[in-house]
Amino acid sequence: MNPKPEAGETRPPKQRQQPPFPEPAPELKWYERLNALNITMVLFLLATVISTPVLQGSGRNLQYFENFARFLSAFFPPDFSVLPEAIRALRESIQIAVMATFFSIIISFPLAAASSQNIAPRWLVLCARMVMNFIRTIPSLIWALIAVVVVGANPLAGVVALTIYSIGYLGKFFSDAFESLDTDIAKGLRAIGADPVQAFQHGMWPHAKPLVCSYALWMLEYNIRAASIIGYVGAGGVGLLLHSYQEFRMYDKFATVLLLILVVVTTLDFAGEWVRRQVTKRINNKALASR
């Protein structure tokens, strides 16, 4: 028994026992710190150092800033007298982009499912990814040249070229979106008798919808810009105007067309952001209501 303290005597407070300090982690050797991320960063830095010779230029004193300022001054003020003609040509470019995006979305869905490791078998994934890699290897301008040779110099060539090119990217984007999803819900639906389409519709699609909409809108925005370029090779759209203005150094008219493209792309960007926000809000409300 502890003796009771006498009157006026104070007992010293108990000292708390300090917990033992954790032992320091052993220092890793340099090769033990290597992982995929570190190796990728090192390889990128090495490639940057090796690529520095391309910054040398021609070696002549070309007065870059003065040349750029003189070239830029030719764009101002823009010549708005070509506005009606530019609007008609831009409308055709938008139509080409819309149709190409529409067809590419339809074709990319099954291709993306076939290239998703959590949906398709391994052999089908490899085949589908090889197809998309081949499509992305060829630039859109080369696809436009091929389409012009096949179907002639008309807007249909632009639709064909951008459809093929967009499939390579949308298929990849959609596949990444599908692979990032949790498939347990879809597997559970399959276990209780749902067919594959129903399992995808109710188990995966609600979560993939914001990403799919975002990628589709991005592709539409890209196709509008690309449709302005493929006209250089005869695939329709506003590119023909840009090519003629550039050939005859009518940069003030060229600037008017660029301003129109800027307005369309910026409007589409704000519209896409609003659509993504609305879709995400709707999905979050459904998730809260189901709890």
CB neighbour list of residue 259: distance below 8 Å, 6 or more residues apart: 78
What counts of helices (H) and strands (E) characterise the chain? Answer: 11, 0
85-103 confidence digits (pLDDT tens): 888 888 888 899 999 999 9
Give the angle subtended at the CA of 178 by the CAs of 176 and 184, to the nearest 5°. Answer: 135
Q: What local confidence, expressed as pLDDT, does residue 162 receive?
A: 92
Say yes or no to pLDDT of 82 above 90: no
Query: Omega before 77 cis (within 30°)?
Result: yes
Q: Which residue has better confidence, 237 or 60?
A: 237
Using pLDDT thresholds of 50, 70 and 90, give the confidence band for residue 1: low
Q: What local confidence, expressed as pLDDT, does residue 269 receive?
A: 79
Q: What local confidence, expressed as pLDDT, does residue 204 receive?
A: 72
Q: Say how many C-beta atoms besides its own lie within 10 A of residue 242's C-beta.
A: 21
In CATH, which superfamily holds the domain spanning 79-289? MetI-like (1.10.3720.10)
Range 210-226 average pLDDT:
84
Q: Which residue has better confidence, 172 or 181?
A: 172
Q: What local confidence, expressed as pLDDT, does residue 47 receive?
A: 92
Range 254-272 average pLDDT:
84
CB neighbour list of residue 65: distance below 8 Å, 6 or more residues apart: none
Q: Which residue has better confidence, 84 or 277?
A: 84
Using pLDDT thresholds of 50, 70 and 90, give the confidence band for residue 239: confident
Q: Which range is least confidently modeled, 6-20, 41-55, 167-181?
A: 6-20
The predicted model scores a pTM of: 0.72
Q: How many Å apart are CA 115 and CA 167, to the nearest integer?
A: 13
